[in-house]
Amino acid sequence: MAGRDGKRPANLTGCISDRLGLNRRATEYRTAARRRTYGIASLDNYTMTAFPVDPLPDIEEFSSLLAIWDAKRDGAQLLLKSAFDIEDFGGWLGRIAISEWEDGDCRFRLFGTQFVDLLGRDLTGELLCESLMPDLVEPSKRHFAELRYGSRIGHTTGYVPVPGREFIAFNVLDLPLWDAHSQVGFFLHGLVVGGPVRDMETPDRT
């Protein structure tokens, strides 16, 4: 309540300021807790792992896709994107995407229907990092750079970074593909929706 001079008493003003500060801090705490719970703008619930090409990693959810990719290699280290026909993917149709390496990022050339359903948008023709929250951009760039220059297989687990879908768990497998110059220029991505988001042991890279 204001005094005769129209000013609030100092102690009342202080109480209001303290309350506003407490409310703001409480909101920040709830937001931070929600981020920790659902992985929003946070790396807490994302695991990005790079595995050697040989031996193949044992990832149960992707065993059939790894088998398709490995059969096409036929003993070679990697294979060209052109080695695949759409019929090769069988039950994985709709659950695959293909991206092309472009200046430290990956541009999607094919984005399967289940990827679209999961994110609520079609990223065909768009860069991966343009679809990510700021916290995830640099880790994703480092992850795919390691896959490209180390010719490694990637595996990412996490929760969908889209408001309203943060509770949906996903797993993505990233398989390197050669370009015409025998360099990793493309990635074949496989998607599994649901399942636990679990920590993966860091593979032996020696």
DSSP, res 74? T
Bridge partners (DSSP) of residue 101 are: 106
The CA–CA distances, whole Å, from 40 to 2, 62, 103, 157 equal 43, 25, 26, 13
Pairing of strands 153-159, 47-51: antiparallel
CA distances from 174 to 18, 73, 99, 184, 189 (A): 50, 15, 10, 12, 5
Q: Coil, helix or strand for 70?
A: helix
pLDDT tens, residue order, the chain (206 aa): 455 555 555 554 444 444 444 444 433 333 333 333 333 334 667 899 999 999 999 999 999 999 999 998 877 888 888 888 888 888 899 999 999 999 999 999 999 999 999 999 999 999 999 988 888 899 999 999 999 998 899 999 998 877 788 889 999 999 999 998 989 999 999 999 986 554 433 334 33
Give the C-alpha separation, 161 to 194, whole Å: 14
Contact 109, 117 (CB under 8 A): no
Sign of CA dihedral 120, 124, 126, 129: positive
How far apart (Å, rounded) are the C-alpha atoms in residues 122 and 3? 60
Collapse the DSSP code of 185 into the 3-class scheme (helix H, G, I; strand E, B; otherwise coil) and give the result: strand
Range list of H helices, 39-185: 63-73, 113-119, 134-150
